[in-house]
Amino acid sequence: MNILLINAGSSSLKYQLFDMTDESVLAKGICERIGMEGSILKHSPTNGESVKYSEPMPNHRAAIELVFKALTVEECGVINNMDEIDAVGHRVLHGADKFSESVLINSDVEKVIEEAIPLGPLHNPANLMGIRACKEIMPNTPQVAVFDTAFHQSIPEKAFLYALPYEYYEKYKIRRYGFHGSSHRFVSARAAELLSRTGDPEFKVITCHLGNGSSFAAVKGGVCIDTSMGLTPLEGIPMGTRSGSVDPAVLEFIMSHERIDIAEMTEILNKKSGVLGVSGISSDFRDLENAYEDGNIMATLALDIFNYSGTKMIGAYAAAMGGLDAIVFTAGIGENDPFVREQMCSTLGFLGVKIDPEKNTVRGKETDLSAPGATVRTLLIPTNEELVIARDTKDIVTKLTLAESAR
């Protein structure tokens, strides 16, 4: 079974084609500058040379048509024709409170994704464009939606409700949703597997997805009970360019003193804050750590704030779960940055967390980083959100096929 995975953004579209017989990736690529001058498709077959197509892509439909061309042409193709694609899995940001798992897309599902646009204004419209373009081009191929919010739908009310007048929840569904759900789900399940605790309702793990956007999840017995991102991916610890949580009164203070409106304030919180805002240097941790090694005080401060916020999050979630068995580091920073891992865990010895400095030098490879005597295991597990989407799509389509053949 071949599954095409689509991750559609407003002006970009990433894709991967999986062969699910062995979960291998046949090809992957990205369309950039959709709807703009100079649009380009970069296509990389796993067993071949990468190619670039500089062709106009006025919309997502044109982009997907070009993806099909790249996947099927002799020069760089990996399949003979589109009929060899059995299903399409779409990464969708926001499923509101309607989806706690992945679903087969029909008009009702599309409607919910559309209704959730106010909650995910940057992503849901693009996700829908990707879905509708695929439906037009391949109307008989099943399409599955995999939501970034789904894994967090198990969070109890006391953890997802903000202490605002309850009517705003009733009227607008203002609450914590959480994001990076496929990643937290993948690495928490893998941690349970590695530690032979799959299915154990008492297995308590904190997953730290540290990338351009960073979020934490408390997962007990495979069920997410809390997460650090909120209504939007702005809440939680400071990130590359996002502020993370701040005193809400700060907004009004800055807006009145700087004479800026809410749009500009939102832009500052999303794009000009976080470790970039504090350091004034970069949102990239490689740049920050180079500057730190050169003795740059502001880079040091930005890293300190990030690491300290992470430490507090781990402490809070250990308390929320009434104990802790494992911490997982994943995503760009979590997988590649020994300094952050070491610093974030440096005061957690009282919980039983102890990292082996030698093992902690590893980057991007599944590793148990724990030192002898640690009672809480610290694991590096590379995330694979794409594989989660491909597996969910396969499961849903297989069930569909079985149901159809039973009729």
Number of residues that make up the chain: 407
Residues 344-363: x where in contact with ligand AMP by CB under 6 A, - otherwise, as a string: -------------------x
The DSSP letter of residue 274 is H
Selected from 52, 111, 286, 399, the binder of ligand AMP by CB under 6 A is 286
Q: Which is nearer to ligand AMP, 283 or 378 (CB)?
A: 283
> For the chain, what is the radius of gyration of the CA atoms?
22
CB 271 to ligand AMP: min, Å: 14
Indicate whether 306 belongs to the interface with ligand AMP (CB under 6 A).
Answer: no
Q: Which is nearer to ligand AMP, 70 or 303 (CB)?
A: 303
Q: Which is nearer to ligand AMP, 77 or 213 (CB)?
A: 213
Indicate whether 15 belongs to the interface with ligand AMP (CB under 6 A).
Answer: no
Question: What would the DSSP string read from start to end of 122-174?
Answer: TTHHHHHHHHHHHHHH-TTS-EEEEETTGGGGGS-HHHH--SS-HHHHHHH--
Distance CA 188, CA 221 (A): 9
Residues 240-279: x where in contact with ligand AMP by CB under 6 A, - otherwise, as a string: x---------------------------------------
Selected from 336, 360, 367, 378, the binder of ligand AMP by CB under 6 A is 336
Q: Which is nearer to ligand AMP, 9 or 332 (CB)?
A: 332
Distance CA 88, CA 143 (A): 5
Distance CA 344, CA 313 (A): 10
Indicate whether 382 belongs to the interface with ligand AMP (CB under 6 A).
Answer: no
Q: Which is nearer to ligand AMP, 87 or 288 (CB)?
A: 288
- Binding range to ligand AMP, per CB under 6 A, among 9-17, 30-38, 265-273, 331-339: 331-339
Indicate whether 302 belongs to the interface with ligand AMP (CB under 6 A).
Answer: no
Indicate whether 385 belongs to the interface with ligand AMP (CB under 6 A).
Answer: no
Distance CA 129, CA 210 (A): 28
CB 98 to ligand AMP: min, Å: 27
Distance CA 195, CA 368 (A): 10
**How many CA atoms lie within 13 Å of 135's alpha carbon, on the beta-carbon side?**
15
What sign does the CA torsion over 196, 201, 205, 206 have?
positive
- Binding range to ligand AMP, per CB under 6 A, among 19-27, 245-253, 280-288, 320-328: 280-288
Q: Which is nearer to ligand AMP, 285 or 317 (CB)?
A: 285
Q: Are strands 103-104 and 143-147 parallel, antiparallel or unpaired?
A: antiparallel
CB 337 to ligand AMP: min, Å: 4
Tokens 């646009």 found at: 117
380 phi and psi angles, rounded to 5 deg: -100, 120
Indicate whether 332 belongs to the interface with ligand AMP (CB under 6 A).
Answer: yes
CB 25 to ligand AMP: min, Å: 17
Closest CA to 194 of 328, 321, 317: 328
Burial of 172 (0-12, 13-18, 19+ CB in 10 A): exposed
- Binding range to ligand AMP, per CB under 6 A, among 8-16, 43-51, 266-274, 281-289: 281-289
Q: Return residues touching ligand AMP (CB under 6 A).
A: 211-212, 240, 283-286, 331-333, 336-337, 363
